[in-house]
Amino acid sequence: MKDDIEKALDDIRPALQADGGDVELLDVSDDGVVTVRLMGHCAGCPMSMMTLKMGIERLLKERVPGVTEVVSA
């Protein structure tokens, strides 16, 4: 599952990097909770929670079976 998550994150990275940010995969729990770290401008952006939930979480749930939630460290 971790490889599939990395591949999906690679698809969203260009959009984050265009705004001066990035995302790093930290952990995937047995119950499908994915922990990521938003970096660069994304880390302090007021819209970071929307990016996390409406962007990253939605994409991962669509593409990777078993992902239940995405949280930020």
Cβ 18 vs Cβ 55: under 8 Å: no
Cβ 63 vs Cβ 8: under 8 Å: yes
Q: Which CATH superfamily is domain 2-72 in?
A: Fe-S cluster assembly (FSCA) (3.30.300.130)
Name residues whose C-beta falls within 8 Å of residue 10's C-beta, 6 or more positions apart in sequence.
none
CB atoms within 10 A of CB 10: 10
Q: Work out the average pLDDT over 3-15.
A: 96
Element (H, E) at 6: helix 2-18
Residue boundaries of the structural domains of the chain: 2-72
Partners of 37 in the β-ladder? 24
Tell if the pTM clears 0.85, that is, is over it. yes
> Over the stretch 19-73, which tens digit does the pLDDT of each residue have?
899 999 999 999 999 999 999 988 888 889 998 999 999 999 999 999 999 999 9
